Structure 1
Amino acid sequence: MVRLRSVLVLCLALALVCLSSCSLPRVSAEERLFLDLSTELLDVYELPTQMVQGVPLGGLSALAYDAQTDRLYALCDDRQRPRLYVLSLSVNKDARGQPRLAQVAIANVIFLKNSDGEPYPANTVDPEGLALSPRQTVFITSEGVPATNSPPFIAEFNRDGQALTSFRLPDRFLPDDPQQPTRGVQENLGLEALTLNAVPSPMGMVDPFRLFTASESALVQDYDDDPSHALNSRFLHYLIGPEQATLLAEHLYPLELEPQGAIVNGLTELLALDQGGHFLALERSFGLKGFQNQLFQMAIGGATDTSTMASLDGVGDSIRLIRKRLLFDFATIDGPQDNLEGMSLGPRLPDGSRSLLLVSDDNFNADQATLLFLFRLQ
């Protein structure tokens, strides 16, 4: 009886080994790190050049969709009159049943104002990042304007466009000299990307929530002028509470190696996907080959906290970077890519799947266009 029991135990153990090694699919550590995502490009809609409330439509650098009002907010990076456009859009099916952007119209224009309710002086704000908060406010980042000694900032605005408060950035992000800085964000390569996530409690409370922003490229003190070395952006993770914002961590985001002949190369947008540290990241370069855009999935789990490092000089390979994986390369599509800078989850598509919207910044240049890309994200 004892011998029979031993044989049964041995058979069971062998069966379990066979199941674990033969029947079950093997999942790599890389696959466990990322979400199982796919994208499908559905449509590209060109917004016509037009004047609205005395200002031209253009310079769209960020997007944020409000599901409660079914409106899309678009941030304009005009340094003369920084503003928000409120857009209405409708998605229909074409003859083949494919979702299409049937119409995009401007519902309102909101001009940004300082905390005193006055328009910002020209060339003091360069708005680039946008996020709608669950407390019915708007978060905006400015790259800053070194020429007017205007530092970069993260600020919270009400829905009428008036600044309520701003949050302190670490000194390492603030240029120490407008002409020849030895630290801080580079000219026109500051806080380009912004996103947040929030989970309402059963009682309807929304505080606190997380906010994430990142520099478009390396800080001055982190810059490596060797073209064979890829640069790193700094990614900031804040906890936003009722009365204050607390910097929880900072990580390094590895940029793609700058293409040969590129004039500008960097991270232009972030989009939080969940509470587990998964994001979409949009990178853009421009140079001899025109505009090149790539969409990545990124994961911050396991990345080194660099918030105590004023400079990356001499740190070598001791830092674990944010991990990323290519999700969509715009080089694979026909037609113009243009200057992609804004990204947001959009309304549900007719089949119930989630849409992803991206927009190009035409820089108020007649040779460029304001393009709205519609993707299915699943």
Structure 2
Amino acid sequence: MPRWQVITRVALTAVVGFGTLGATPATAASSSFQVTRFLGEQSLAHKLQYADTTVGGLSGFDRDPITGTWYFISDDRSRFNPARFYTGTLDINRRTGAFGGVQLTGVKTLQRPDGSPYPGVGLPDSADPEAIRFDRWSRRLLWADEGDRPNTAEPTVPVSQPAVRWIDRDGGHLRDLPLPTNLKNTDTERGPRRNGAFEGLTFTPTTIAAVVEGPRFEDGPRPTVGSGAPVRINVWGRNGRIRAQYAYPVDALPATPIPATGSGGGGVSEILAIDDNRFLALERFSIQGVGYKVKLYELDLRGATNILDRDGLANGDAYQPVSKRLVYDFGDLESPTQNLESLAFGPRLLSGECTLVVGSDDNFDARETTQFLAFAARGC
């Protein structure tokens, strides 16, 4: 286990400008959210075998605050086993904050409306699970499916639509939330790019919000070293009706690939509500020859333009994106940054601090790690 640097201070610098957007983000609203201390790190073995499944690709998790059960969703697109989620526990001592371990307790297959599992990648109606949330009011689960679509590298892939879906705790399908027309996958250069649809999901006290990972074709190019990009946060009411969309300004690529002609990209990999207006957001970049770069931001919807009816954001028309404030740079830790994609609140400590747990998707790659990082925080 690596020895980690204890971080007791966080940057509070507001973002004051953004790439090619039609407007400059507003100054972030005053907030007391801050990471106060690092509690520990745990990991799972590579391709851990559990209940006749291969564990990996954990791209989202959440906690039932009553029972303490955690739900972990895998983005395995039925290459190893049918699309699924796991249950488990995280051992966080409420008195000391010590993070003692992770244990799996169950696995459930995600089901289509007819009760069958989702077909594999490259087949019609395949699923790409990316986020999961537990609803404390209904005690049901909500999960985000990124869907699929063809691109120049894989032109024969059929279109599968992104979705946000209610399920029961056994994985049984209940219903989908309505999908905004501008977030539907297509087989043309319209809508989300491949692997650029729903990636993050959260409940606020009164709404549901989901974020796409990257910019739609109509919203401009992906982030580069010289420029950031806008991605859309979609908000539904608890009644399931679409309320609004807001533009979140993703940073420019934080480092040049090695070699300079190499690949690099990224976007928002998860969001987590603090209240109805404020969220935490993970910005995650993968850069050839450099590795992963991940930062935690706080964003605020207040004052942002509702862009639900705007077909594109790259035409020069002005709009106000959400404000954002840097909370934590995971590059400050001593160990190399992993592919961080999960973000959830754990139990509240007796000190009054909440716990924030961040997790990584290992891509089923032996060079990467299924990692869990626990922090104490205030203002949550």
Q: TM-score range by the shorter chain?
A: 0.7 to 0.9
Counterpart amino acid of 2:59? S
Aligned to 2:13: none
Q: What is the TM-score with the length of structure 2 in the denominator?
A: 0.83
Going from structure 1 to structure 2, the CA distance change for 1:365 and 1:225 (only over 3 Å counts) comes to: closer
Offset of 1:168 from its aligned partner? 2.2
Relative contact order: is structure 1 or structure 2 higher (C-alpha 8 Å, sep ≥ 6)?
2
TM-aligned CA deviation for residue 349 of structure 1: 2.4
Q: Which moved more, 1:79-88 or 1:344-353?
A: 344-353
Distance 1:225 1:367 in 2: 26
Percent identity, aligned pairs only? 28
Asked if residue 280 in structure 1 is aligned to residue 290 in structure 2, the reply is no
- Are the structure 2 counterparts of residues 225 and 263 from structure 1 closer, same or farther at C-alpha, using a change threshold of 3 Å? closer
Report what 1:270 is aligned to: 271
Partner of 1:72: 70
Displacement of 1:98 in angstroms is 5.2
Instruction: Say if 2:254 is the partner of 1:247.
Output: no
Paired AA for residue 100 in structure 1: A
The aligned amino acid for 1:266 is: G
- Measured against aligned partners, the alpha-carbon deviations of 1:301-329 in whole angstroms (never above 9, x if no partner) come to 0000101101123234x111100000000
Kindly indicate whether the alpha-carbon contact (under 8 Å) linking 1:34 and 1:298 is maintained by their aligned counterparts in 2.
no
Query: Where does residue 130 of structure 1 map in the other structure?
Result: 132
CA deviations over 1:53-77 (Å, ceiling 9, x no partner): 1111110101111111111111111
User: Which residue identity lines up with residue 131 of structure 2 in the other structure?
Assistant: G
Aligned counterpart, 1:351: 351
Q: Do the aligned partners of 1:173 and 1:183 also contact (CA within 8 Å) in 2?
A: no
1:194 is aligned to 201
Q: 1:216 & 1:71 partners in 2: Cα distance? A: 27
Confirm or deny: 8 A CA contact 1:279 1:297 kept in the other structure. yes
Please, what TM-score do these two structures have when normalized by structure 1?
0.83
Counterpart secondary structure, 1:148 = coil
RMSD: 1.9
Equivalent residue number for residue 8 of structure 1: none
Distance in 1 between the 2:364 and 2:116 partners? Answer: 25
Query: Whose radius of gyration is greater, 1 or 2?
Result: 1
Q: Is 83-92 or 320-329 further displaced after alignment?
A: 83-92
Alignment of 1:86-125 (within 5 A): 86-92=87-93, 99-123=97-121, 124-125=126-127
Matches within 5 A, 1:206-217: 209-217=206-214
Higher helix residue share:
1
Correspondence 1:185 to 2:188? no
Tell which deviates more after alignment, 66-75 or 261-270.
Answer: 261-270
Partners in 1 of 2:354 and 2:88 — Cα distance?
A: 19
Q: Which runs of 5+ in 1 are unaligned?
A: 1-29, 199-208
Q: Which residue of 2 aligns with 1:144?
A: 147
Quote how far apart the aligned CAs of 1:263 are.
2.0
Q: Which runs of 5+ in 2 are unaligned?
A: 1-25, 150-156, 258-262
Q: Please say which of residues 297-306 and 43-52 is displaced more in the overlay.
A: 43-52
Task: Give SS of 1:310's match.
Answer: coil
| Counterpart residue type for residue 82 of structure 1 | A
Q: Using the alignment, how far apart are the partners of 2:64 and 2:32 within structure 1?
A: 25
Q: Is the 8 A contact 2:110 2:118 kept in 1?
A: yes
Deviant stretches of 4+, over 6 Å? none
